[in-house]
Amino acid sequence: MSKIPQITLAFWVMKICATTLGDFLADDSGLGFAGGAILIGSLLAIVTLCFYFTKISRVLLFWLAFVLTRPFGATLGDVLTKSRDQGGLNFGTIGSSAVLAIILIAFVVYAMIANHKRRELAAAQGAP
């Protein structure tokens, strides 16, 4: 029997849970958009630390990160786009896109610099 239906079901259950979590944190928990984004971002940071400093299953950490990225993106997007009255920064769609583009570019530049430094270090040590 194929596992595809089971995997597909698991994917959609995770996606629905993630969406529900983000909506709950932003709307019903009292945390608001910023509080929800901070909480979920903190949980993602913990998952990242667990990846590097524990022997917790990588599959489990992947699924935790997968579930958390959906509500994090939604709540962070709401923080950037919603009006100040609603608890946001009122950047609008274009302003929010510009902020996220700058963040993305910064991460890409950082990764390129780090990769270049690793190659220089390897070359200095005589590695191919």
pLDDT digits (tens, 9 = 90+) for 3-52: 778 778 888 888 887 778 877 877 788 888 888 899 999 999 999 999 99
Expressed as residue numbers, the domain containing 42 is 4-90
106 assigned to some structural domain: no
Indicate the angle between helix axes 32-53 and 58-81, nearest 10 degrees.
150
In a domain, 20, yes or no: yes
Neighbours of 15 (CB within 10 A): 13
Residue 105 lies in a domain: no
**Is residue 18 a part of any domain in this protein?**
yes
Q: Is 65 a domain residue?
A: yes
Q: Looking at the domain assignment, is residue 122 inside a domain?
A: no
Residue 97 lies in a domain: no
Q: Measured between alpha carbons, how far is residue 45 from residues 10, 49, 81, 101 in Å?
A: 24, 6, 23, 21
pLDDT band at 116 (very low <50, low <70, confident <90, very high): very high
Question: What does the pLDDT average to over 61-67?
Answer: 89
Task: Give the pLDDT of residue 63.
Answer: 86
Cα 3 to Cα 30, 61, 67, 72, 100: the distances in Å are: 40, 21, 21, 29, 37
Q: How many CA atoms lie within 13 A of 5 on its CB side?
A: 2
Is 68 inside a domain boundary? yes
Considering its fold, how many domains does the chain have in total?
1
